[in-house]
Amino acid sequence: MENSTEIKGLGKMKKKLLIAIVLLCAYFIGCSDSDSTSNSVIRGDLARYTVVVVGTAEGMSDSIMEDTYNGLQPLMESNDVRVLFCYKYGTSMSYAGFDPETGEDIMRPFTGKYAKPGQFVTFELTKDTDLKKIAKNSVIAADSSQSLYEPGFLAKVLNYASDSLPAQNYVLLFYGHGEGFHFAYDYPKDKRDLALVKTQLGATAAILPDDWDEDEYVNMYEVRREIEKSTIKHLKAIYFHNCLMGNMESLSEVYSLADYLVASEHSLASDGMIIVDFVKELYKDGDFENTMKSYLDNTKDHWKLEYEKEGMNGDLKVLKSSEFEDLFPIFKKVANRLKVLYKDVDQRNNMKYALNSTYKVEEAERFFVDALDYVQKLAEKTKDDTLTVAAQELQKAFEKLIVKKIETHYNKENDIDSFSLSVVFTSKYNMNLDLQQSARTDFSWGVTNEESYKNTIFHKETGWGDWLNANEFYVDSSEE
């Protein structure tokens, strides 16, 4: 990393000073074998929960994170719940879309007021934190060079939380944009063609894109690696305050690292209040599962306002991770059966009709379809006994998996009664494209979409990629 020497030197000079500076020292203390929990018991400052918020967004959206600081601060009356922010500010002008009338890009100005564009701050938020001084006292990088994607960085953040904000339970909350599974961004770095990597730096995957480099992403493989390398290793929850992360392929990579997952299969509309409501609920007595049920009930009315305004469907789910792997054998059964039925002309047409009526979450170079709805529609149209049983099993499995969910149904042209999780659906033609040929990316790692997809735990457990590679239906359900 470009500024590693500067950061380490700063840590040596100011070790044990203000919290943000102490985080820099996590480069050193994170490797300690000391029992931070027992030390914290002696100090008497063991929290019930420590929430680690890691994120970045566009400069035009940074005011939303700052509104979250402001909303949370009055709650921080004790160390019962502690919140550590690790946040990178965006650019002075951010891309906000394309204006078809003028033919020009739409750019929006930076909205942050507590830090400057590109600054990377980290601090524990307390009732006494002077937010106006975080750019001076809590900055770990004065420019945009510090990356969330630096190997070992997230692990060191978690190590610092464990050592300096010790708790009975830890929650890792990602704040930013999300893609769900993406063929190009989610191809593992260690498998990429090194010659291509040298000319195509960046593009690491499907959550937390960097406003300073639109081709920089954190991927789920990296998230798993960093948690496993940290001293925490297993969390009470991983909360994705990101779009499209309620996705089978994405969650399969990390479900085993936390007791609970929080995610949305849709684009997430939020002004940050759902984070404030989350921390507020953690302060109340009760076990985590009941706390989360109460949380969704209490945040729902505010959460749904933006969806109503935009006429959007939406969801936010709490998932019990111990129930997640029960989905795998069902999807494996479905994938195997679909490959057999696809050879029958009549059933092939039935499968096409099923796809036509399936709820589609995201329409890009790969569609996300609602997983339960897809299997139920397949069972309904094919009347196949195996798929009928699988649809029933899948519904029961989702009922066990989903502890609580809130939903909006404002898109009357595309809607179903209830949402599950999304799963990738695409054709074999797209599966066999080189990554560079895929829409929405200029990157090529010398492999096809199929080769990328087959790195996922979801494929390895279910063979879903084999079904996609046999399917000739385009996502719009037409045939080539």
- Write the burial class of residue 42 (CB in 10 Å: 0-12 exposed, 13-18 middle, 19+ buried): exposed
The answer, as to whether pTM is greater than 0.95, is no
pLDDT of residue 222: 87
Pair 349, 466 in one domain: yes
Pair 340, 296 in one domain: no
pLDDT of residue 420: 98
Pair 332, 462 in one domain: yes
For residues 36 and 340, the model is more confident at 340
Pair 222, 77 in one domain: yes
- What is the rounded average pLDDT of the residues 366-382? 94
Question: What band does 434 get if pLDDT is binned at 50, 70 and 90?
Answer: confident
pLDDT tens digit sequence for 218-230: 788 889 999 999 9
**pLDDT value at 246 more than 70:** yes
Pair 348, 416 in one domain: yes
pLDDT of residue 366: 56
Among 324, 357, 387, identify where a domain stops: 324
Pair 330, 346 in one domain: yes
Q: Look up the domain containing 368 and give its range.
A: 326-401+411-470
Pair 275, 385 in one domain: no
Pair 359, 305 in one domain: no
Question: What band does 205 get if pLDDT is binned at 50, 70 and 90?
Answer: very low
Residue 46 lies in a domain: yes
Q: How far apart, in whole angstroms, are the C-alpha atoms of residue 211 and residue 91?
A: 6
pLDDT tens digit sequence for 76-120: 989 999 999 999 999 999 988 888 888 899 999 999 999 999 999
The gap from C-alpha 293 to its chain's centroid, in whole angstroms, comes to 20
- The dihedral of CA 301, 303, 307, 312: what is its sign? negative
Give the 3-state DSSP-derived string for the chain, with helices as H, strands as E and coil as C.
CCCHHHHHHHHHHCCCCCHHHHHHHHHHHCCCCCCHHHHHHHHCCCEEEEEEEEEECCHHHHHHHHHHHHHHHHHCCCCCEEEEEEEECCCCEEEEEEECCCCEEEEEECCCCCCCCCCEEEEEECCCCCHHHHHHHCEEECCCCCCCCCCCHHHHHHHHHHHHCCEEEEEEEEECCECCCCCCCCCCHHHCCHHHHHHCCCCCCCECCECCECCCCECHHHHHHHHHHCCCCCEEEEEEECCCCCEHHHHCCCHHHEEEEEECCCCCCCCCHHHHHHHHHHCCCCCHHHHHHHHHHHHHHHHHHHHHHHCCEEEEEEEEHHHHHHHHHHHHHHHHHHHHHCCCHHHHHHHHHHHHHCCEEEECCCEEEEHHHHHHHHHHHHCCHHHHHHHHHHHHHHHHHEEEEEEEECCCCCCCCCCCCEEEECCHHHHCCEHHHCCCCCCCCCCEHHHHHCCCHHHHHHCHHHHHHHCCECCCCCEC
Give Cα separations from 180 to 210, 242, 249, 357, 406 (angstroms).
16, 9, 8, 22, 19
Structure tokens at 79: 């160390």
For residues 251 and 217, the model is more confident at 251
Question: What band does 445 get if pLDDT is binned at 50, 70 and 90?
Answer: low
pLDDT of residue 207: 67
Residue 4 lies in a domain: no
Question: What band does 8 get if pLDDT is binned at 50, 70 and 90?
Answer: very low
Residue 56 lies in a domain: yes
**pLDDT value at 34 more than 70:** no
Residue 21 lies in a domain: no
Residue 16 lies in a domain: no
pLDDT of residue 45: 74
Q: How far apart, in whole angstroms, are the C-alpha atoms of residue 217 and residue 158?
A: 19
pLDDT of residue 183: 80
Return the percentage of the chain with pLDDT > 70, whole number. Answer: 80
Lowest-confidence segment of 62-71, 264-273, 365-374 by average pLDDT: 365-374
Average model confidence (pLDDT) across the chain? 84
Pair 317, 330 in one domain: no
Residue 148 lies in a domain: yes
Among 324, 351, 380, identify where a domain stops: 324
Residue 111 lies in a domain: yes
Q: How far apart, in whole angstroms, are the C-alpha atoms of residue 370 and residue 367?
A: 10
CA angle, corner 271, sides to 314 and 23, nearest 5? 115
**What's the domain count of the chain?**
2
Pair 148, 281 in one domain: yes
Residue 192 lies in a domain: yes
Pair 307, 343 in one domain: no
Give, to the nearest 10 degrees, the angle between helix 385-401 and helix 371-382. Answer: 160
Pair 308, 342 in one domain: no
